[in-house]
Structure 1
Amino acid sequence: MAEVATFATSDQLLVVIDPMARAMDGESVRIAKDVLSAGAATKVCLPDGPDEFARALARRGSRRPVVIGDDSALVRTVSLLHRRRELAECVLSVVPVGAMLSLAGSLGVPTGAVAAARAVLDGVERRLDVLVDDSDGVVLGGLRIPPVHAVGAGAGAGAPEGAESGVPWLRSARSLVRALGATRPPREPAAAPPVAGPARLRVEVDGVTLVDLDQPVREVSVTPGPVGSAAVEVHPVSVGADALPLRASGRQVTVSGADFRYRADATVSGPVRRRTWILHEGALGLMLPG
């Protein structure tokens, strides 16, 4: 990750505000808009859905894009720019607002609205490595097999209790659900989701087999490394117990075997029988604090 350039606050900005950010934390959105408008010429877009979001980015012209939203909005933006083959020439800025902000934070973006907006205006461009799979999917923070059941994976999940309590319409909905539930007989508790057992997968790094189908594995993780390579870690199982992890690094990682699912950033994909990820060095330009 290398520092490339600084930018003047007079740059023109296209500020695209994700609908979920407006619903979850309108006050942080307002603060971010005020800071950005005070330091640069801004055009603000309020898309109502994914299609309008994509059109706003496509029509940005010479304006620097600034996305106000959570990790899903960040991944969506990077994926759109990659599919349009505009990622390498674009310098992206993010003001994290919403329930899921861990990915943005792990990339170095401040998770406070004021600090993040100031980084948009006065920060530096840093080039980050990304993984791109053979279906043109982009991975920023890393991937895991099998996927982790994170908060937000199910319908209606994703906002912590404290976040929901500050949003009037969510608070009203929760009260209504509790009231309806009190008039109904108690239901049997839902069964816990099954715990994923060992899988038989072949993991190859730059054409060299790290683990083969005859060795069951508990977990595989791949993350963009700091020096132009992906870090791969495999946790094999030996006679019913976890063995020492196997580690390797390289620019191309292929996983194959029985049908498997994987979590890449905030999204679960699959099942697939084979997937290859290639590291693209310095593919993402992101504005971060200097």
Structure 2
Amino acid sequence: MSAHVPAEHPLLVVVDPAARATDGESVRIAKDVLCAGAASVKMAFPESAEEVEKALAHRGRRHPVVLGDDAALLRTVLALRKERTLHESTVSVVPIGPRSTLVKALGVPAQVPAAARAVLDGVERVLDLLVDESGGIVLGTLSLPCGTPVAHTAAHWWTPVEKTARSLVRTLTAPIPVNGNPPPRRQRLRVEADGVLLADLDEPVHEVSVRPAPAGLAEVHVRRAPGSAQVLTRARTITVSGRDFRYRADSAITGPVRSRTWTVEPSAWRLTVPR
């Protein structure tokens, strides 16, 4: 389901500090394209998550546009959901930064000029959200277990902002530990999908992944051992419990926790993509 995004709609362009520090030239190109094609553009240069929330809360009728990467998009969606306007706000993003895999997977062009033009003449793509009981959200894929890496939550992105650009770039480009380096520890997890038991604590689980599926459901994959057959189902609610497990929600690693339930919120938000 999609609808045309009117080009005459005024824009609030939120420039992520990480984008400014890592690729100022791409920020300039995106700004030039947007200013040349939109009826009215207001620029915002927040230096903290709180300033992002403030800028969005005072945007009026302006259409929010993010210049940044996956983490910047996630902060924007979280802020709009917090102020209860996510359902009425079409979000646009121009991917700038080292970690834009999710943004591109959602259908946004990888090239800055093309992504900026899509903001002006694209269409709305209606998307679901995975929401957990702590208020966390997943825009793309959820996976676990994640071994014992250092958590890379959204809050970490703001810590270097007050330091030099060199320090910020080092922080942003530092490698994130991934499955296989070192190998993740198989864990005993209880996995339920809409109340149906998919795995229990009596057998180690190698991998669980959850991603959006049609009709307001999530696709759930459970693999008990490397190379073994997967258990595959679709569900509205997924509950995982076990002893001190971590999980990757999009690019952020969270935990340890002992239990977490995710619920699909169908048609929860809208993203601008090319026609």
- Please give the TM-score of this superposition, normalised by the length of structure 1: 0.82
Q: Distance in 1 between matches of 2:93 and 2:52?
A: 14
Task: Output the CA distance in 2 between the equivalents of 1:47 and 1:210.
Answer: 44
Instruction: After superposition, give the CA deviation of every residue in 1:8-54 in whole Å (9 maximum; x if it has no partner).
Output: 21110000100110111111100100110111110011112222122
Aligned residues of 2:131 and 2:264 also touching (Cα < 8 A): yes
The correspondence for 2:13, drawn from 12, 15, 30, is: 15
Question: Displacement of 1:226 after TM fit?
Answer: 3.1
Cα 1:123–1:193 change in 2 (3 A) is: closer
CA offsets, 1:183-229, max 9 Å, x none?
A: xxxxxxxxx97532211111100111111111211111111113321
The one of 234, 247, 258 aligned to 2:232: 247
Partner of 1:55: 54
Indicate if the aligned counterparts of 1:96 and 1:116 stay in contact, CA closer than 8 A.
yes
For this pair of structures, how many residues does the alignment match? 256
Q: Which residue of 2 aligns with 1:280?
A: 265
Which of these residues, 203, 217, 225, is aligned with residue 229 of structure 1?
217
Q: 2:44, 2:7 → 1: CA distance? A: 19
Q: How far apart, CA to CA, are the structure 1 residues paired with 2:62 and 2:126?
A: 19
Unpaired stretches in structure 1, ≥5 consecutive residues: 159-168, 175-191
Change (3 A) 1:149 1:17: farther
- For residue 104 of structure 1, what is the aligned residue in structure 2? 103
Residues 189 and 200, structure 2, Cα contact 8 Å, conserved in 1: yes
Q: How big is the shift at 1:153? A: 5.0
**Aligned partner of residue 27 in structure 2, secondary structure:** helix
SS at match of 2:53: helix
SS for the counterpart of 2:61 is: coil
Is the deviation greater in 70-79 or in 218-227?
A: 218-227
Q: Cα deviations across residues 152-208 of structure 1 (Å, max 9, x unaligned)?
A: 959xxx9xxxxxxxxxx649x98xxxxxxxxxxxxxxxxx97532211111100111
Question: 5 Å matches for 1:155-166?
Answer: none
- Greater C-alpha Rg: 1
Does 1:215 pair with 2:203? yes
1:130-141 matched pairs, under 5 angstroms? 130-141=129-140
Query: 1:149, CA displacement in angstroms?
Result: 8.9
**Would you say the 8 A contact 2:147–2:183 is kept in 1?**
no
- Check conservation: 1:35, 1:117, Cα contact below 8 A: yes
Contact preservation (8 Å) 1:218, 1:242: no
Q: Could you tell me how far apart the structure 2 residues matched to 1:194 and 1:90 are? A: 41
- Structure 1 residues 170, 244: closer, same or farther in 2, change over 3 A? same
State which drifts further: 52-61 or 118-127.
52-61
Q: Percent identity?
A: 52
* Separation of aligned partners in 2, 1:145 and 1:21: 29
Q: CA-atom RMSD, angstroms?
A: 2.6
Residues 204 and 84 (structure 1), Cα distance of their counterparts in 2 relative to 1, 3 Å cut: same
Over 3 Å counting, the alpha-carbon distance change for 1:76 and 1:148 in structure 2 is farther
In the alignment, does 2:251 pair up with 1:266?
Answer: yes
CA distance 1:225–1:109, change in 2 (3 Å): same
